[in-house]
Structures are given as C-alpha cells and as structure tokens.
Structure 1
C-alpha cells in the first residue's frame, strides 16, 4: 500500500506532503511540474519490491506549502535537502522526471554528499530562442474567474500539451508523436493544477529559468543516468548535454518502459543496500491506513469529538481538542464500499470518543449529485462550477425559484471559494451520493 504523510520543516513551519511505498533502501522520487507525487503512484508500486520509494510534493504543488517570494531553482533544491533532513533521510538514490530531474541535479551539484546516484528522465538544455518563447507565453497567470472560464483554458492546455510542444505552439512543426486524449490522465493533471493554483508559476518558472549546466567533467559527484524515450520532447536534448563527469551517462531509448527499466537497473546498481530508516511525520495530521484505503485526518488524537462534513464537501480545520476527517471518497480520503464502517474504524484508530454525524442536506439525492465523471471535453468542470454558484443562491441548489432563495453573501461567490467547492464536488464524485445515503440511514436510526 502507498501511505501518505505530512511533515513540518523545523524553523520555517513549511509543510510537506509525501507518499511512501515499498521496502529496502530509500529512493527519493521528485515529480515534474506542475504535477504532484500522485503521478508516481504506478511507478512506486512497480519499484516497491526494490526500494522504499519516498515521493514528496515539491513546494507549491500537491499538498505541500509553497516557498515564499519568487524562488529560483537553488531554493527548490535546498528545500528538497531540508525535507531530507526533516525526514531523517541520509544519502540515498533518487529519481526525477523532467523538472524533477533538474531539481535533483541542482541539489546534487550543491550537496553531492546527499546522494548515491541519480536517474533522470529527460534533462532540458534550452537555447536562447526557446527560453524567450517560454518566458513570454508558457506560464500565464492562473486565477479562478467568476463564471469558470479559466476551466475551459485549463482543460485544453493540459490536453493539448501532448499534441504540440510547447502547448501554445500550433504549428505543424511543433506536433508530438505521443498525442493522446486519455481522459483519466488529463483529469489527474487538471486536478493537480487546481491544487497548485497560481503558485504553479513559481515552481515551473524556477525550473524554466534554471541554468542548464551539467557538473564539469572533473567534478567528483555521484553517478547519474539521463535517458529519454521516443516522443519525449526532451529526447533531442540528449545531444545538447556535452561532456559529463565520470560515471555519468546519457541514453536515448524507444519507449517509456525502456526508460523506466534502464533507470531501475542503474539505481539498483548504485543505490546501496542500507535499509530505509524510520521517517518523521507530523503528529496532528496524517492518514489512517485501513483495509481498503486511507482516511485523511487532522486534529488531536484521543479527542472527545470526531467532526464530519456534508456530502460533496471536505473537512474544515478542526477546533482545538477535536478531530476532523475527510469523509470516505472526499477530499484526501480514499473511497470505501461501506463509509460508515470506515469512519467508525478511523475513529477507533484515532481514539475519538464520539462521532458527530452531520445531517444530510435537504433535497432529492438524484438531483443533488449529478454525474462528475471526467469526460473527453472537460464539461464536468463547468458542471461543478455552475453548481457551486447555484449553491450560493438557492437551497437545494437545483431549485432556482423565489421559494428556495437563500440570503446572498458576497463571500460565497468569491471565485476562490467557488473553486474550492467545485473542486471538492469533483473529487467526491459518486462518493457524495453514497455519503448522503449513509448519513440518511444513520439519522433515521437515531430519530
């Protein structure tokens, strides 16, 4: 099972979310921008037999706090080293894809003693003209708009990134051979961009501005394999790398599977055999591992009350001396066939004395929770957004009439508030209806 954890960096208070899976020596895995460690879940499961895979969300992505100001690549490299220190992680092997590899190479140049070996998927060496193009158009501001127009842009920007590179270059010469319309892949990347918001520009921008200098030939640094497969826009950059230190190798391969196999073989040969040490994690937020999945919680273990939220929502910050969780299938919790049993098991594991079950919202369940399954055209995003707006006007939201009007509050129509509600509804999907039915049953039993 892949487990999830929160970590607070001493001194700064910056919070870092990380995933962990497997046994054996530690392998640090750094994701590309603007993604999160979730993109590595399939690879973590494959490599879990060989390594203890540790994948943090880089600052500003996933569930990790951003860095202050306008950070540069050295700041992201140093933040990674701070995370290693806070985890209690000694020298280890590491893997990074695209911008994750750039962060790792920068960290290795600054603190080579922290790494045993690197495997990198594609390393960018942009020329001056490419840098100019990226600087002008690649990272537009990303803010929620009142009527959700930004979601149409986001869907197409993520989808078409596999059709042309860069995503805005619609010339025939910019076409990619790896074009797809994989709805699940696009929806996952869209969700991660919604997590990051405009902070994506800091992390992505630092990578694009980073100097692309491989350590000098004479440098005494751990070994590194850089490989890129056919269709990867960075495969051509293999020819731009130039001379490299002893133990460094660059290789073109045919497929993503070949890249992963070559990386695993290289890391296994150089990663050592010392077992991964126990890793630090926060005491007031985390995930309870139950049979069938994980439940995300915050608060004080052993608290008297465990507080729950309504369907299609997510947990609020718990008050002092209480606990809160994301309901099964909501927020950062996994889905479960029996939501009530999962909540009760989580309460027992957390030492909560009582569960405060909320009443389900009024309305017809079949109308309260329309289908939120991602579709080829991204229309589910607009559906969630329009419901979030309607919720500020009427209760239930689908009854647009004077008889069901509720007092208007400007804060409820703030675009950032709308985005949080729409995002929570999208994440919940079908689980919202199951949670509603569970609460209805429980309320019926307690009356």
Structure 2
C-alpha cells in the first residue's frame, strides 16, 4: 500500500504560519495518529499500513519533530502541543476524528480531548503517564538536557549512547540493576531510526520531552464532557505502572492493561472501530512542496520536490535543502526526504529515468537544468533528454579513481555509533579541502568560516546520513563522465 506524504500550512495562535508534514493512507472514518517523542510519524508506518484498511489515517509529525516546524515558543507546554493538533485538524478541514497516541502522543491527545472534547470521537492510548511532583522535578532536571550541535561533533556520541542505553535502563541517566528494562540491545538497526529522528528534531527533542514531563494529569473531572477513552499498556512498558495512578476516571473510559504490544494494538483497534468519527475528506494542501509517486528506472516510491522554475539537482550525499531560491528542486531517490532505493544502480540511465518521470508527474518543463558537484553529469543527461540547456558547472577536482574509492565513505550504522562522527568529520574536511579526502596545502579551498558553524554543519550532516544511495549515484556520475570523455 502506498502511504502518501504531504505538507500543509497551519496557523499558530500568534497568526504566524507553521508547516506540518504528515502521512496519509486508506479510506473511511478519519483517524489521527500521534507519535511519541522524540520520534516522528515514520514510527507508525507499519501501523498505518494495517489500520488503513479501516480508516483514513492521518499521521502528522508533531511540532518540531520529524519534518514539522516547531511552535514559535521558547518554552512550549503540553497544552500548546495539544492545541497544535486541533489547529492541524482545522487546516485539514476535519471537524472530528478518532485518535490513537503512544506515550507522549497519548499525553498530548488526552490534554487535547480535555480542552476540545467535541473534536474527538474517541481516543486510544498506548501508555499514559501520571507523574509525581518528585518525578517531575527529577526528570525536568535530568531527562531532557538541551541537544545542540557542537563544532567537532561531540554531541553525536552522546546522542548515540543516550538512545542506546534508554533500551537498557529507565530512566536512561540512572543506570543500575533496579532500573533495567527487558528490551536491552546493542542492535544499531533499533537505535538508528531514533537517532535520526533526534537529529531532525534538534533542540525540539528537549522541548517536546520537557513539555510532556511537566504535564498534569488531565483526566476530566466527574461530569465534564469527554470522548470515550481507552488507556492500555503492556508488560515491560515503564508506563504500565502508571495505570494504578490514574484514580477515578469518567464512566466512558476503559482501563485495559495487557501483556504484549500485539494485544495493545488489538485492544486499540477494537476500541476505535467501536467509536468511529463521522466520514470527512481531508482538505488537499497546496504549498509548493510535496511528494510525487514515481515508478521508473527500477525505482518505485515517493520523490520529494520543492519550488518551481529551472531544475536543480543536488550532489551525491546532499539534498534539496541546498537548492538556490527560485528553482524546482528534487531529492533524488535514497536522498533527503525521498524514499530509499534498494539496490540503487551505479549506472546513470536509471537515474535519468527517475528524474524524467518526476518531472512528468509534476507537469514541469524546466528551461535549464543545473547539478551540484558530480550531479552536473546527471543534469547534463537530463537536459539532453529535455532538449534544453544544462548549466555550465565545473566538475569537482581530483582523480576519479580516488573519488570512487573514497568520495563517499561507508556510513552504515555500527553498534558504537562511529558512523555519525565519520560523517561529521567528512563535512568539516569537505568545507576546507577539495577533494575533501586529500587534506593538504595544495588542496586547501577558500571558504567562509560561517560554513563551519555547528548549526549549518548539522543540516548537511542530516542530509548525508539520510543519503543511503549516495555511493551508487556518485559512481554512476563518475562512470558517465569517463564514458563521455572517450567518445
């Protein structure tokens, strides 16, 4: 099943506009999914696929997480995140939804339903925290330190260790036998997606966590309006113990502790099916940015695009975040926000086919095609297919065999997280030398020192870490450049 993705502009209380990313699939009554912190709607992809058989599923990235812009507040509270969910419903034109939230997503939803009960047909919650005042004080001081990029990448090993060890202990910062969790692992495949979501969130990682850790018990008092609410949690979830702290709940609430995640999902689905929202079609956004489905050259998936005008293609390992203003930019497969390309080819022709198919799907007819770095080779091939001009961009310096061997290092996740720091060091070197892997006085390049600001490096680092198809794209461009010189 194709899970669509889109951006929509949402109004903030101060009148400013905030861009929100969401996933959508299925048909039927609208169902809102709200993820936990510090994750994104990506964690719900398997669930979306299953529940889309019953609902029109809308899964947004909450403010400041995933690809959604943060709230314009220095210290947002849980109520602000709750109101932001209702503002999204307004932007989508949905008068009422059922909703499911996990952990902090559940906390946000319970607060939202207390503040706006008529907007929710029902809630299903995977865990709901009721903190003591002592826990609020402790967690507020230790659980959510600021997460800011540092010049030499010092923040990266800290992040990897923190994410890895949160599978070992709760709370993560208090290791000890009494705090062990049953899901301890060193598997990088489990840590990597959480780390990537944290890198995308930046310091929203800290702000979002802190808001739900400060949140009050928002169970409505007797007689207050409330939609039907299910609270459940499974064995091994630290929040299962909080079920005993709930106290009195409204008559239309159900408390159902379970043994396994599968049982939690079954309970939640049954509850939501029993309390559907009225049918309503979400409003289609039009914000000059989005995703287009492409099936060409052996690739099948979504391509992220932004803007209009001449076509601009980022280099291997980069993303359209570097695109000049006033251009139509694409994230190539396995780069940026576009879908991965399993077994991406090291031949140029399939890459050209993907770009051509994306342009056709968008109805775009650029008059000029430009490519960054080695993607100038791809840009030239696309321009030839379109019968338009290609920008005259010089190819990067350095021996091509050296580029093949060292141009894009292997950044596959490892158990110790060293791939994160390897990518950061590459980007610092790339700023100072050309080619980056030959650091010497002879290869020194002039640069603006502001390019080494940690905030700017963090944007490039995230793009490089997302670029799973960077090496095949680089090799395709190198081979095509060699072949052109032999003609």
Residue number in structure 2 paired with 1:227? 232
Give 1:443 deviation, angstroms: 5.1
Of 323, 345, 348, 2:360 maps to 348
**Matched residues in 1 for 2:444 and 2:65: separation?**
38
**Matched residues in 2 for 1:218 and 1:316: separation?**
51
Give 1:356 deviation, angstroms: 3.0
SS in 1 for 2:256: strand
Residue number in structure 2 paired with 1:299? 307
What are the residue-to-residue correspondences of 1:193-204 with 2, within 5 Å? Answer: 193-204=198-209
What are the residue-to-residue correspondences of 1:25-36 with 2, within 5 Å? Answer: 25-36=29-40
Of 271, 279, 284, 1:280 maps to 284
Q: Which runs of 5+ in 2 are unaligned?
A: 345-349, 375-395
> Considering only aligned residues, what root-mean-square deviation do their CA atoms show, in Å?
1.8
The change in CA–CA distance for 1:320 and 1:403 in structure 2 (over 3 A counts) is closer
Contact 1:298 1:324 in 2 (8 A): yes
Give 1:5 deviation, angstroms: 0.5
**Matched residues in 2 for 1:98 and 1:36: separation?**
13
Range with bigger deviation, 79-88 or 8-17: 8-17
SS in 2 for 1:286: strand
**Matched residues in 2 for 1:105 and 1:421: separation?**
37
Give 1:403 deviation, angstroms: 1.7
**Matched residues in 2 for 1:215 and 1:443: separation?**
67
- The alignment status of 1:47 with 2:59, answered yes or no, reads no
Range with bigger deviation, 347-356 or 234-243: 347-356
Residue number in structure 1 paired with 2:10? 9
- The alignment status of 1:380 with 2:419, answered yes or no, reads yes
Contact 1:60 1:199 in 2 (8 A): yes
**Matched residues in 2 for 1:435 and 1:416: separation?**
27
- The alignment status of 1:172 with 2:177, answered yes or no, reads yes
TM-score (normalised: structure 1) = 0.95
Deviations 1:176-199 (A, max 9, x none): 122223322211111111111112
Contact 2:314 2:322 in 1 (8 A): no
SS in 2 for 1:157: helix
Range with bigger deviation, 322-331 or 79-88: 322-331
Contact 1:359 1:440 in 2 (8 A): no
Q: Which runs of 5+ in 1 are unaligned?
A: none
SS in 1 for 2:268: helix
The change in CA–CA distance for 1:308 and 1:237 in structure 2 (over 3 A counts) is same
Give 1:318 deviation, angstroms: 5.1
The change in CA–CA distance for 1:169 and 1:218 in structure 2 (over 3 A counts) is same
Residue number in structure 1 paired with 2:126? 121
Contact 1:298 1:317 in 2 (8 A): no
Give 1:215 deviation, angstroms: 1.0
**Matched residues in 2 for 1:278 and 1:8: separation?**
14
SS in 1 for 2:432: coil
- The alignment status of 1:394 with 2:412, answered yes or no, reads no
Residue number in structure 1 paired with 2:270? 265
Contact 1:86 1:280 in 2 (8 A): no
Residue number in structure 1 paired with 2:164? 159
Residue number in structure 1 paired with 2:389? none
What are the residue-to-residue correspondences of 1:399-438 with 2, within 5 Å? Answer: 399-429=438-468, 431-438=469-476
What are the residue-to-residue correspondences of 1:16-27 with 2, within 5 Å? Answer: 16-27=20-31
Give 1:358 deviation, angstroms: 4.2
Residue number in structure 1 paired with 2:377? none
The change in CA–CA distance for 1:91 and 1:192 in structure 2 (over 3 A counts) is same
Contact 1:26 1:92 in 2 (8 A): yes
**Matched residues in 2 for 1:59 and 1:436: separation?**
35
Give 1:320 deviation, angstroms: 5.8
Deviations 1:58-107 (A, max 9, x none): 11111111112211111111111010000111211100001101111111
Deviations 1:328-353 (A, max 9, x none): 21110113343221111111122222
Contact 1:60 1:67 in 2 (8 A): yes
SS in 1 for 2:202: helix
